[in-house]
Amino acid sequence: MLPAIFGLSGLVLTADERAFFREVDPAGYILFGRNIESRAQLRALTDDLRTLHGRSRTFICIDQEGGRVVRMKPPQWGPYPPQGVFDRLYDLAPISAIEAARANAEALGLDLADAGITVDCLPLLDVRQPGADDVIGDRALGAEPLRVAALGRAVLDGLARAGVTGVVKHMPGHGRATADSHKALPTVTADAATLETDLAPFRALATARIAMTAHVLYTAWDAAAPATLSARVIGDVVRGAIGFSGLLLSDDLDMAALTGTIPERAARAVAAGCDLALNCWARMDDMTGIAAALPPMTPQAGARLTAALAATDIAPVDLALRQAALTAKGNALLALVT
């Protein structure tokens, strides 16, 4: 199996994609708005991906956060609020905020499971800091580490109840970056003691099954390479100080924070310690280059992948009834702040 996650170009697999994916056997796939038209079409697409490899549990992920980051949109799927509303509710009623975050995540997760999606790139555990770039903004669960951890755990629990595995991101913390890593490389100059604030939520949820790295340069840990490409940060901080032992996924390798060709970035990410290299844009030249540049997945990474997908369920049986109850519960709790 190739240690890569690939994007798809459209609503169905092209003949070239089908042949390529069958040949290289990537660890999984990521979906975007360009891949989504309707409930029936999306489920047919994810069923096709499972059939392609003969694996009922296939890593098929999406960025479905709520608010401004959604791929599955109304009217086909219900609207979901930005994660920051749970932080606002926490100011008034912490237990209610945790319950609302859990209910919202389960309702959202049921949409994903019904579509055959097994992994959601949520929750963000980035601790929001004043003066930071708005790329995180209202996507964050708060500015206080223990609150972020509590709400993040609720989101993971809610997704798991729906049969979807969550991804904690962006490890080891994107909350104080003053640039958008989609556009440039953020450099964080805080010292190691200050960065303990950023690590705290990830450390509290170190047993999460999957994490995503940050394309951020932390001078306190490695002044030469961003976290995704740094063996020092992944070894000493992610696996060491945080204690994360699950499946480690790079953020999108196409982002402008990184330099070099896409295959070079993928090879560097895996060499640094990422289990999987994420390539989102379905450019065949990039994907074939990645396939040539990467070694086969290690047995350790394969075991982490299997564990990450162990509890996924692609066939919820009471979607409408359960989702209605969860939505009503979440809306009632959020009414305090919305």
Give catalytic residues, as residue numbers. Answer: 182, 251
Which residue, among 194, 92, 208, 190, has the nearest Cα to 149 in the 3D structure?
208
Q: How far apart are CA 266 and CA 274, in angstroms?
A: 9
> For tokens 């961003």, what's the residue?
226
Give the contacts of 262 (CB within 8 A, at least 6 positions apart): 253, 254, 279, 283, 286, 289, 290
Handedness of CA 260, 266, 269, 271 (dihedral sign): negative
- Alpha-carbon distance values, 283 to 7, 10, 60, 276, 297 (Å): 8, 12, 18, 18, 22
Q: How far apart are CA 69 and CA 1, in angstroms?
A: 30
CB 212 within 8 A of CB 170: yes
**DSSP per position, 196-231:** HHHHHHHHHTTT-SEEEE---EETTT-SSS-GGG-H
**302-306: long-range contacts, CB 8 A cutoff, minimum separation 24:** 302/1, 304/209, 304/245, 304/246, 304/247, 304/248, 304/275, 305/1, 305/27, 305/28, 305/59, 305/247, 305/275, 305/276
How much of the chain is helix, strand and coil, in % rounded to 5? 45, 15, 40
Q: How many residues does the chain have?
A: 338
The three-class DSSP label of residue 46 is: helix
